[in-house]
Amino acid sequence: MVDLVGGYYDAGDHVKFGLPMAFSVSMLSWGAIEFEKEIAASNQLEHALDAIRWGTDYFIKAHTQPNVLWGQVGDGDSDHYCWERAEDMTIPRNAYKIDPDHPGSEIAGETAAAMAAASLAFKPYNSTYSQLLLVHAKQLFSFADRFRGRYDNSIEDARQFYASSSGYSDELLWAATWLFRATHEEYYLQYVVDNAVSMGGTGWAVGEFSWDNKYAGVLMEGGGGPYTSTLKQYQAKADFFACACLQKNGGYNVAMTPGGLLYVHEWNNMQYVSSAAFLLAVYSDYYSAANAELKCPDAQIQPRELLIFAQSQADYILGKNPKSMSYLVGYGLSYPVHVHHRGASIPSMSIIYSTVGCVEGFEKWYRRKEGNPNVVYGALVGGPDKKDDFTDERSSYEQTEPTISGTAPLVGLFSKLQSVMGNSGSYSPQESPRPVPHNTTSKVPVEFLHTITDTWTIGRMTYYRHKVIIKNTSEKPITELKMGIENLSGSLWGLTPTPEKNTYELPQWLKELNPGSQCSFVYVQGGPQAKVTVLSYH
């Protein structure tokens, strides 16, 4: 029996797809290496390393033999048939591996890259663990290179969800690049040079950097001695990608929305935006260190211009866009509340104790018009379409589903931008012309936490028991708190009604709400939840 506990689900479902998981760990690790000081300055380095290790510990368990790697847990089709909490899963959890008879060079190569990059991230802090990761990285690269084959031919279930459209050559070059950085062994540099043409490293002109296509990320620092000529060809392809993003590539550019967002794919486009913006931030550092500028067909670009463009993509993500919508869940005054995510859309087991069944979840929670009871803070959703339009509905999974491969690059990117641009140079949600408060009022020190504690059906009508916690988030007592409650159609307990329409006060026995303290009220109704706002207080 193999212990495959741990790791990450890829998105709003419960499948552990190995390829995007490994890419996410690679990006987290690259951020922790490239922007280590910036992340540390935000007191987030320990958290970043913990997130990396959650992935690498899983990869160590999944790499049971030098030439065996367990690459997937769960079936996409059967998993997507259910809408339930992870704690309630009842479907079979099939696991799939690659081995010499069933090769998978993409996933073995990407996992090797993740382990090598993570070994660099941990090297200053845990040299023993760093060396262990390097052992696995070397074995996995050898496995990927010696037994070549498309992983989605061996793990066929992955093809429908994460098909390898670019093949496995980019992963082999990407892994060799990271192993050279981690070991400084010339074998890996020689591998990148010798296979430059045959594996497409100096031939492909790419318009994306993603879990599927790594060519734009194959960067080799330094002159390379006798390999300089070939490495410059690699650099030229990286330059092509950067110029294409900046719309300076002689017409061969990455598409953009009217609002200024890079647009690569219809499904979950934001993951391609975040990885591209991260890469441009890295490019900016490379050019700054070399005291050089990027020569595009349409212009010569200074290193800071690369960072400014990366910032424009980050600002769009955070709300500086035609919809004034933050696509980072939990950030800003208006963000998606119908996120296509099982755990976000169903109340926790501390609220609904009974099991939520596979199909029951669709009926009771997936199709609810109300916003999700749980906020997936920091999740980057798929984002708008090519016209900057966005539909905040769970069924619009192309736009509202978050992915780890989209969120992972933001750790390094945001840390870099915060360090260089500071608060004055980054987008603030207060600039939004259309603020839309959710659970928290924007101008008063009162927080409303809205949860559903019970549900039942009578005839064709479903009723919900809503519990609203009122918390004083300030450092001073709050008195004479008046709240407006709109769209209330049922009975309410725990507040005192006033003569004014739809207006309520704290219960008579509670004269003031002390700092950090809270109280709650309950109401029962069918249909959408009520909207609670603060009208006045002292």
- pLDDT on residue 529: 81
Which CATH number fits the domain 1-164, given the four candidates 1.50.10.10, 3.20.20.70, 3.40.50.2300, 3.40.640.10? 1.50.10.10
**Residue range(s) in the chain whose domain bears CATH number 1.50.10.10:** 1-164
User: CA-CA distance, 195 to 173, in Å (whole number)?
Assistant: 8
- Which sign, positive or negative, has the C-alpha torsion 134, 138, 144, 147? negative
Q: What is the CATH architecture of 446-536?
A: Sandwich (2.60)
* pLDDT, tens only, 27-37: 999 999 999 99
3-state class (DSSP) for residue 508: coil
Hey, what long-range contacts does 182-186 have (CB within 8 A, 24 or more apart)? 182/116, 182/117, 182/119, 182/120, 182/134, 182/137, 183/116, 183/134, 183/138
DSSP state of 502: T
Residue whose C-alpha is closest to residue 485's, from 453, 523, 452: 523
In angstroms, the first-to-last Cα distance of the chain is: 62
Active site residues per annotation = 340
* pLDDT, tens only, 463-519: 778 888 999 988 889 999 999 998 888 888 889 999 888 999 998 888 889 988 889
- pLDDT on residue 447: 85
* pLDDT tens-place values along the chain, 538 residues long: 899 999 999 999 999 999 999 999 999 999 999 999 999 999 999 999 999 999 999 999 999 999 999 999 999 999 999 999 999 998 889 999 999 999 999 999 999 999 999 999 999 999 999 999 999 999 999 999 999 999 999 999 999 999 999 999 999 999 999 999 999 999 999 999 999 999 998 887 789 999 999 999 997 654 456 788 888 889 899 999 999 999 999 989 999 999 999 999 999 999 999 999 999 999 999 999 989 999 999 999 999 999 999 999 999 999 999 999 999 999 998 999 999 999 999 988 878 878 888 899 998 999 999 999 999 999 999 999 999 999 999 999 999 999 999 999 999 999 999 998 875 445 555 433 333 333 333 357 888 888 777 777 766 677 778 888 999 988 889 999 999 998 888 888 889 999 888 999 998 888 889 988 889 999 888 877 888 989 888 8
Number of neighbours of residue 40 by Cβ within 10 angstroms: 14
- Which sign, positive or negative, has the C-alpha torsion 61, 67, 72, 74? negative
The pair of three-digit structure tokens given for residue 365, joined into one six-digit string: 């929670």
Number of neighbours of residue 85 by Cβ within 10 angstroms: 19
**Residue range(s) in the chain whose domain bears CATH number 2.60.40.290:** 446-536
> Are 23 and 37 contacting, i.e. CB atoms less than 8 angstroms apart?
no
Please identify which residue in the block is written with the tokens 């939520």: 356
DSSP state of 102: B
Torsion of CA 386, 389, 391, 395, to 10 degrees: -20
Please identify which residue in the block is written with the tokens 């495959």: 4
Residue whose C-alpha is closest to residue 110's, from 195, 212, 16: 212
